[in-house]
């Protein structure tokens, strides 16, 4: 055999070895060590044969077929295969996804749960729909329409609030205007003048009261003999009382029965009051809180009347140069 024949035989043998190695590696990578599964989605935009299958964001396989499902025309049947040993479980969920915004669409499978049973070859992976661009556009359009209506409504309500605030400010200006302040000042001056004018009369009335108390002492001394005569009168009254004792006793018995009825009535009233004690306290507390809120609102309106129209106090105007 010449040299050329030997070289040709060597090249042919090398090519056969390379082809066998490629076939073996490809068969090991994509043949016997791939496990088939399938899933169903309503929207599979951009997914086709050869698209990646991701498990927890890691590429583990590819899509073999994408077609309409004969059993349910509203579903798209996707046949896929993943590397053998990929821990798909019954809690794993397949959905449309991608690695990045610029990458091609892929089938993304979640890792599921550790305690969930592993899925067997050929089983259907539960799916979850993702929001498509059309759905997002429709929702954003609906939100924009609602926002426009809301803005229109708020503008109308703000006009009403602004009108009420202006009316309130006008009333406050009338109440605290120069005319009312002048009237209050005049009223205070009149009160001061009246007190100064009546002070001498008040002093004289006080002196007269002192004199009357002194005369009362002398009157008490004169009443002493009358008290002695009153003792005899009391003795006569005792006799009269002895004669009237029996009728009075009967009246007392009736009065006692009446008092018992009154006690029963009072006890009933106390029971009703105690049963409603919490409600009464709550009502009083609510009235107290409402009063405090009204005081706070009044103080705030007095100190910052502009807060009814503006959220923040307007800045001071600059002095022109």
**Range from 14-28, 91-105, 123-137, 254-268 carrying the lowest mean pLDDT:** 14-28
pLDDT at residue 9, as a whole number: 78
Cα distance between residue 26 and residue 20, in whole Å: 10
| Range 32-59 average pLDDT | 88
Q: Provide the whole-model pTM.
A: 0.38
**153-183: string of b/e by CB count within 10 Å (b at 16+)?**
eeeeeeeeeeeebeeeeeeeeeeeeeeeeee
> Is residue 93 very low, low, confident or very high in pLDDT (cuts 50, 70, 90)?
very high
Cα distance between residue 286 and residue 35, in whole Å: 71
Ordered by start, the domain boundaries in the chain are 33-131, 178-243, 276-309
Nearest in space to 110 (alpha carbons), one of 99, 130, 94: 94
Give per-residue pLDDT as tens, 166-193. Answer: 787 777 777 667 777 777 777 888 878 8
State the burial class of residue 39 (Cβ atoms within 10 Å of its Cβ: 0-12, 13-18, 19+). Answer: buried
Helix (H) or strand (E) holding 249: helix 245-275
For the CA atoms of 199, 204, 207, 209, the dihedral, rounded to the nearest 10 degrees, stands at -100
Is the pLDDT confidence value at 266 over 80?
yes
Cα distance between residue 18 and residue 22, in whole Å: 6
């Amino acid at each position: 055999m010449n040299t050329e024949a030997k070289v040709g035989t060597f090249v042919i043998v090398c090519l056969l070895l390379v082809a066998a190695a490629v076939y073996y590696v490809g068969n090991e990578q994509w043949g016997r060590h791939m496990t088939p599964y399938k899933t169903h989605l309503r929207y599979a935009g951009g997914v086709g044969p050869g698209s990646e299958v991701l498990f927890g964001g890691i590429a583990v396989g590819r899509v073999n077929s994408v077609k309409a499902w004969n059993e349910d025309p509203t579903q798209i049947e996707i046949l896929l295969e993943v590397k053998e040993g990929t821990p798909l479980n019954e809690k794993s969920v397949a959905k449309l996804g991608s690695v990045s915004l610029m990458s091609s669409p892929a089938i993304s499978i979640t890792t599921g749960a550790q305690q969930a049973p592993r899925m067997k070859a050929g089983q259907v992976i539960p799916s979850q729909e993702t929001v498509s661009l059309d759905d997002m556009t429709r929702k954003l359009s609906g939100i924009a329409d609602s926002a426009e209506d809301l803005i229109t409504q708020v503008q109308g309500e703000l006009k009403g609030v602004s009108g009420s605030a202006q009316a309130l400010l006008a009333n406050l200006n009338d109440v605290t205007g120069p005319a009312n302040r002048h009237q209050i000042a005049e009223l205070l001056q009149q009160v001061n003048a009246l007190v100064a004018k009546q002070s001498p009369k008040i002093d004289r009335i006080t002196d007269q009261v002192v004199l009357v108390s002194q005369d009362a002492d002398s009157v008490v001394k004169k009443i002493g003999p009358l008290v002695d005569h009153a003792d005899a009168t009391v003795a006569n009254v005792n006799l009269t009382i002895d004669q009237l004792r029996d009728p009075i006793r009967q009246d007392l018995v009736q009065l006692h029965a009446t008092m018992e009825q009154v006690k029963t009535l009072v006890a009933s009233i106390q029971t009703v009051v105690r049963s409603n004690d919490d409600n009464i306290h709550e009502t009083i507390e609510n009235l107290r809180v409402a009063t405090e809120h009204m005081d706070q609102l009044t103080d705030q309106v007095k100190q910052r009347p502009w807060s009814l129209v503006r959220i923040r106090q307007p800045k001071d105007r600059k002095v022109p140069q």
